[in-house]
Amino acid sequence: MKITPLAFESMGVRSMCTHVRTDDINLVIDPAVSLAPSRFGLPPHKVEEEAKEGLWRRAKKAVADADVIIVTHYHFDHVDPKEPEIYRGKRVLLKHPRRMINPSQKARAASFIRSIKGLAQEIEYADNRSFTYGDTMLRFSKPVPHGSDATRGYVVEVCVESGERFVHTSDVQGPVLDEQAAFIMAQRPGVLFVDGPSTYLVSPMAEIELRRANEYLLGIMRDAEVDRLVIDHHLARDIDYRERIRPIIAAGEELGVSIQVAAEFLDVEANLLEAMRPALYERDG
């Protein structure tokens, strides 16, 4: 199995877009990239816009070669409604657009599905289901909250199994709940991509989610035989992300688990452009 992060915060944009290739199937999870419209009271810097353009080209190239596209939920950093043409001829596995979904995502889902009908080869709702392609199995969690409650809606987590197991959590913001962590534990992934808590937000809830995420991830590392743990997305919007997950990094050293952001998984230096936005503008004078 070959796993390739295509676009993540550590690569300069808001995304969790991932390419997975096995002997049986070529798939892309959550093909979209976006930028925070305002952060630190500043709009996206031109360097961020350039990164977005380049990474979106990269993601679309992977999608063009893919057999299957997975959409874990309907936030615009996980699905791009403006280019439905990329779904032409693809099998599309979606978070259910009407069940366990909040009003804003329900409206987005309906519009998106209308736009790809007649283009996609096949559209299936994936919640709590499995799909087999040769010796490769795709397993999806039941819908789980986007964070510690369902205010921001629900997502589905994904496991790809082909000899080894890979789990992509989507936006669980941690994990921070038993049901989110239970899916990961049940899959026992060798490689785990998690989105991490939203420590860039200043709120009592952010502190609670950080504490819970650290506790759950420590348990997963100790009990689920994870070899490589990538923590990115929400967490990598925080320039001090390594300090936030110090217990995880220490446990990784003790247990022999590689702890990385997505850029480091690709053996390149992390480039947290959103978190660096004030410095980018200051550099311009």
Q: Where are the domains of the chain?
A: 2-284
Res 53: pLDDT? 98
Torsion, Cα of 25, 160, 98, 144 (10° steps): -170
Its pTM surpasses 0.85: yes
From residue 186, alpha-carbon distances to 52, 106, 158, 199, 226 in Å are 35, 29, 12, 27, 12
CATH class, 2-284 region: alpha beta
Q: Please give the mean pLDDT across all residues of the chain.
A: 97
Is the model's pLDDT at 215 over the cut of 90?
yes
Is the model's pLDDT at 162 over the cut of 80?
yes
* Contact indicator for 18, 278 with CB cutoff of 8 Å: no
- Parallel, antiparallel or unpaired: strands 158-162 and 136-140: antiparallel
Neighbours of 246 (CB within 10 A): 10
For residue range 106-120, list pLDDT tens digits in order.
999 999 999 999 999
